[in-house]
Structure 1
Amino acid sequence: MQWIYFIGRSVCHQIPERSFFIGNHQLPLCARCTGIYMGVFLGFLYLFSRKRWKGNKPPSLKILLFILLSWIPMMIDGATSYIGLRASNNIVRLITGFLFGVFWPVFILLLKNYQVMKGNNLSIVENYKDLIIMICALIPFAGIFSMQSIVVWWSISGITVGTLIYVYVQMIFIIIRNLLVSMNKKIIYFISFIISMMIMSGLSWLNDFLLAQYR
């Protein structure tokens, strides 16, 4: 558990009042971050199940607008609660975080697969139906929070923190691959993992130094 909490601190404040507890154990990510990274996981899961992991075609302007609009609720919720205009709660944080995170995979896959000098005609998202299904994945996920079981704690914690690591590795991989085109992909992934763990460790220690008093 301590290792999972350590990794979670690389992106999250872990303030108890803004986090869910399952089986008397606080989740390693706050409600909003839990929503974001569970959204990322379920977004990837849907696209992989639809065999879109090699997609490289940018979404249409209408699809892009839909995605951008789905990010606004979290921005409004976060901004208005932090400046004191209104009080938020963990359910709202979870939902708005999920809406913000569930479409990240579209852009991660696009950055990873897009080829500047070649035709890009493999769709990642084909229509609004894809987007609606990805959003509806929140419904069964939200239901498991009522199950106060240590198995549920480990499942949610493992998925969200594992997804967090995966996102770090993928983004570092994209950067290194574009700089070192000829390098073997397996080597790039290994280097990306090491760099990701170093960055996450540094951010976690910084978080512990700056925000420990609020936990």
Structure 2
Amino acid sequence: MTDLMERLFRASQIFRSYPLCHSDPSRSFCYRGRYFGLCARCTTMYLGGILTMLAYLLWEPVFQGILSLVVGGLLLVPGGVDGTTQMFGDRESTNSLRAVTGLLLGMGVVILVYGFVTMLL
């Protein structure tokens, strides 16, 4: 397990210069004193998107047409609220909350894009 985590940390250094993520260590996951290259929200956002795409490939999509647009849009709301109230409000989010909202954001984006694509086809 330790070798796997070490390889993940080395690989995550590629994302350090990702332009849409601040990669702030205080807002990133940490393992044995080493930080992931992406913040907690971006890490779980990618994870949620990848898992949703895999689920859509393996099983029949649950949400079709307009319902996927509604569900995808609703899944974006918690991340938007958490991110904007943290940025413009006088509060600090936690990594646990960032992880949950990031996971929902990743799922929401994939479901929303799927809905747009199926409606256009």
TM above 0.5: yes
* TM bracket, shorter-chain basis: 0.7 to 0.9
Of 41, 45, 51, 2:54 maps to 45
Tell me how far 1:108 sits from its aligned partner: 4.2
Q: Percent identity?
A: 28
Q: Give the CA deviation at 1:79.
A: 1.1
Other-structure match for 1:28: 37
SS of the residue aligned with 1:12? coil
Q: Does 1:98 align with 2:99?
A: no
Aligned to 2:65: 59
Task: Report matched runs for 1:9-20 at 5 Å.
Answer: 9-10=17-18, 11-20=20-29
Matching of residue 6 in structure 1 with residue 6 in structure 2: no
So what's the TM-score if we normalise by structure 2? 0.74
**TM-score scaled by length of structure 1:** 0.44
C-alpha displacement of 1:2:
5.7
- Structure with higher strand content: 2
**For 2:15 and 2:33, how far apart are their aligned partners in 1?**
20
Partners of 2:28 and 2:36 within 8 A in 1: yes
User: How many residue pairs end up in the alignment?
Assistant: 111
Q: How does 1:147-186 map to 2 (within 5 A)?
A: none
1:71 Cα shift?
1.0
The residue aligned with 2:3 is: none
Match of 1:83 in 2: 88
Q: CA deviation at 1:78?
A: 1.0
CA gap of 1:75–1:106, structure 2 versus 1, over 3 A, is closer
Is the Cα–Cα contact under 8 Å of residues 70 and 99 in structure 1 kept in the other structure?
yes
RMSD: 2.7
Deviation at 1:28, TM superposition (A): 1.6
Contact 1:43 1:104 in 2 (8 A): no
